[in-house]
Structure 1
Amino acid sequence: MTLVPGPSNGSKVAVAPARACAYAVLRRVFEQGAFAERALRAEARSLPGRDRRLATRLAYGAVQRRRTLDHFAEVLSERPTARLEAPVLAALRLGLYELVYLAGAPDRAVVADAVELAKASSRAGHGLVNAVLRRAAREGTDSLLRGLADDTPEQAALKHSHPTWVARMWWEQLGADAARALMDYDNEPSELALRANTLVMDANALAERLTGDASGSAGEAPAASGMRGTQRGVKVHLDAKIPEAVIVEGPFDVHGSPLWRTGACIAQSRASMLAARSVAPRPGERVLDLCAAPGGKTTHLSALMDARGEVVAVERDRRRAGELASTLRRMHAGNVRIELADAAAPLAGEAPFDRVLVDPPCSGLGTLQARPDKRWRVTEEDVEEMARAQAAILAAGADVLRPGGVVVYSTCTISAIENERVVAAFLDSHDDFTLDDLAAELPSYAHWPLAREGGSGAPVAARCSSTGSTVLTLPHRDRTAGFFIARLRKA
């Protein structure tokens, strides 16, 4: 148990460590504006694996379902959440999330810990926390869920805890059924996928180190090359479509593993791996990676090239460039050169590149499982602004490409404004480029959206729609992050 300050006399009361950690994360995110992932890393540093996993589920789940939980709190308390103290609201969110969406713990333990956490942080709000959570437990949480319909985008946004503008956008772009399924899946834990660094070992060898054999059975991996096995209970799956990918199930601490520290693997979604594979770099070529930090795709490009040739990695932020350099060293990417520069500005003094990867900052709406607070940070206005910046970076990348070369445009979002519309506008203004047919290489993810713009029915870039195709991964369908990828070839 974790001791937290009691209501008086400096006394301490015991609270389950996972709940205390999750509560601290919620307060950091919603009161201090902290990123959920960083807040969790700081708060869970000293927790054992089991408590860390539960704290992650509680914190991420309560952040993701904030909108729905606040609705439940208002129904049960009969008052607006805007009138509640922030520590009280955090305790309500945490307790309601566990009561409604997680099974296993006794209701009385959930209620008691939430009340103690509120006591330690507020003057009188713990009474309200007790009353609301006891009412939820007494009346049954199924009735709360049954009261939520999802027949319209507005209803679905409340039921599945998304901003209304996102629900409306996906309703139009994907259709009602897919939009509902996507929003529902966004609230589930994200995949844990590792990319085997083929400069060190392939996916089969990584799987053996993780589990003792490549079939996915549990066990402790044998020691080899100075690296010991990770933890018992880990199961793995290989991906026939992505040779470097290893999907992990079970208690695996990526950053605490010697496999990670020695550069044998990196945590990276399978969808993200498709971006570098779509670039398809060859050993000896010159490749440009724009907006390169934190380095997952950069190091993937290097590995696909067997660290032969050159990758120029452009990053404008000095701190992120430092993090990128650290990743390059750990992943043995010795053929990468970092350039501290603006990706949208002309790259002076460089010979033309054979291939270019444009992976610009985006709204990140394809990563709402792994980044639980992302949905509450991005606005509709941000999307339009990002699309303008993305178009400028794509044009800059195309300017330094040799004839016959390819530029791959990739985002981790599900937004036609940032994806299809950016590529279509680029093709309409660059007659010397055509859209490659990625469906021939990645048929499971084929996507032909460029004949129409954002569901409006207005034809755009019609000349490319008959032969070219893009890739769009959807989390609920593909069980990985949502990514858009287009490959453009210069005449």
Structure 2
Amino acid sequence: MKDGGRLAAAIEVLTDVETRHRPVQVALRDWGAAHRFAGSGDRTVIGNLVFDALRNKASLSARMRDGRPRALALATYCLTWAKGIEALADTLEQDHHAPEALSEEERDRLSNEDLADLKPHELADVPEWLWPRFQAAFGDNSIEEGRALATRAPVDLRANPLKSDREKVLKRLAHTGAMPTGLSPWGVRIEAKPGLGRMPHVQAEEGYRKGWFELQDEASQLAAHLAQAQPGMQVLDYCAGGGGKTLALAAAMQNKGQLYAYDADRLRLAPIHERLQRAGARNIQVRDPASSSLDDLIGQMDLVFIDAPCTGTGVWRRRPDSKWRLTDRALEDRIKDQRHVLKNASQYVKPGGRLAYATCSVLPEENQDQADWFLQNEPDFQSVSAGDTWKDTLPQAAAPSYISERGDILLSPASTGTDGFFIALFQRAG
């Protein structure tokens, strides 16, 4: 396929996402299934166009004065990918599979580089209703942080010390351009490719199959580290999901002690078993909510880790369609879920034990406000500074920009080059 046909396909997928309210991955998958002639390279470019259009939907819509799929796809190719108007015009005119040629009005809007008329939330590519919350989280850095959340995410890996080390992983992945991450001592990063660029399929690598590394964003690695799981501990990963942080906790424990993996949604737990085997993690007991109870763990855990259900605002780089589907009602539901999880999970912490609360959100209501609520409602717990833990255990890493007076940490793409992630630590009175 030529770029004209790829633009037409991107417009088709964006229309499907908009009119049928479908997740973008599902729409792309179904388009590929219905168009078998499109090769893997074509599908990569079409996916890049669709994802970049959604990442920058607010700013591109404002510049084009048109938020329809055609305007978004053309602006992505011309502006975001910096192809320029003439290259776009030639593509549209020379490929009979391409969308119709540019109108004079479209040419004028694509030529206008003046952004003075754009509102702050448009410049930041943040939904307007969320803008006050972004300002509460980031203050004067709100536009910068929104723009960073509208970029492509790198592929981050965590070297698995149960089977390998970072130097070994870097050597094996040298052909991908892999580099060490700047904050996590176990992290490996493959930077995002611009425009038509295709990312390597790291799960096809021999090192992945052997369990030398796992896919895990650097922020998630750091959250697991700050929880400070130690060899010999009794640890509960209360919202384990697919097991990414479970594996990081197991590695920190050096397979010594006992780690329980639990999630109220058993379908989310399904991938964990294959991952545990590949990683060589032998101290993990998976508790299926349909067939087992956690009653025997009440008051017994040295550490309970909560990766709480949230709006996912911190991972917009990876799931850009989700930011335009998010509603105030969904945020209210997540806040209720988080309080329910915090209250339930805290009962498993033994006297003197710790509770770690993390979200992949940047919204204060899901982060600092929930930590406040927990401390007000659970007098047996007191705050532990995640900022001090960072300083003591990650001396080589620059301190995060966003640390609350209590010591809670907020990571972000613009400040730390990671997904948006929040971590707060608590200790039960001994």
Alpha-carbon separation, structure 2, partners of 1:410 and 1:267: 18
Q: Does 1:426 align with 2:374?
A: yes
Q: Which range is displaced more, 30-39 or 279-288?
A: 30-39
Give runs of aligned pairs for residues 434-453 of structure 1, distance below 5 A.
434-443=382-391, 444-445=399-400, 447-449=402-404
110, 128, 133: which one pairs with 1:141?
A: 110
Alpha-carbon separation, structure 1, partners of 2:160 and 2:385: 27
190, 203, 214: which one pairs with 1:248?
A: 190
Residue number in structure 1 paired with 2:57 = 66
Q: Which range is displaced more, 473-482 or 56-65?
A: 56-65
Instruction: Give CA-to-partner distance per residue, 1:373-393, whole Å, 9 cap, x none.
Output: 121121123222211210121
17, 22, 26: which one pairs with 1:29?
A: 17
Q: Does 1:235 align with 2:177?
A: yes
Alpha-carbon separation, structure 1, partners of 2:102 and 2:185: 53
Q: Once superposed, what is the RMSD of the aligned Cα atoms?
A: 2.9
Greater relative CO, 1 or 2 (CA 8 Å, sep 6+): 2
Residue number in structure 1 paired with 2:196 = none
| Contact 1:25–1:40 (8 Å) recurs in 2 | yes
Alpha-carbon separation, structure 1, partners of 2:346 and 2:361: 21
| Contact 1:148–1:159 (8 Å) recurs in 2 | no
Rate the CA distance shift 1:107–1:307 in 2: closer, same or farther, 3 A. same
285, 289, 295: which one pairs with 1:337?
A: 285
303, 310, 314: which one pairs with 1:366?
A: 314
Q: Does 1:285 align with 2:233?
A: yes
TM-score (norm 2): 0.85
Q: Which range is displaced more, 34-43 or 333-342?
A: 34-43
The gaps in structure 2 that reach 5 residues or longer are: 194-198, 392-398
Give runs of aligned pairs for residues 309-458 of structure 1, distance below 5 A.
309-341=257-289, 347-350=294-297, 352-443=300-391, 444-445=399-400, 447-449=402-404
The gaps in structure 1 that reach 5 residues or longer are: 2-13, 76-80, 82-88, 119-125, 212-231, 450-464
Count residues in correspondence.
Answer: 409
155, 172, 185: which one pairs with 1:192?
A: 155
- Please report how far the alpha carbon of residue 112 of structure 1 lies from its aligned counterpart in structure 2 after TM superposition: 4.3
Q: Does 1:183 align with 2:146?
A: yes
Q: Helix, strand or coil: the match of 1:307? A: coil
**Code of the aligned partner of 1:420:** Q
Q: Does 1:92 align with 2:103?
A: no
| Contact 2:156–2:216 (8 Å) recurs in 1 | yes
Q: Helix, strand or coil: the match of 1:477? A: helix
Alpha-carbon separation, structure 1, partners of 2:29 and 2:94: 22
TM-score (norm 1): 0.75
Instruction: Give CA-to-partner distance per residue, 1:236-260, whole Å, 9 cap, x none.
Output: 2213531110111364222332322
| Contact 1:99–1:110 (8 Å) recurs in 2 | no
Highest Rg: 1 or 2? Answer: 1
| Contact 2:260–2:284 (8 Å) recurs in 1 | yes
Rate the CA distance shift 1:203–1:271 in 2: closer, same or farther, 3 A. same
**Code of the aligned partner of 1:348:** D
94, 108, 113: which one pairs with 2:89?
A: 108
Rate the CA distance shift 1:256–1:30 in 2: closer, same or farther, 3 A. farther
| Contact 1:91–1:115 (8 Å) recurs in 2 | no
Q: Does 1:483 align with 2:425?
A: no
Alpha-carbon separation, structure 2, partners of 1:363 and 1:309: 33
Alpha-carbon separation, structure 2, partners of 1:418 and 1:319: 24
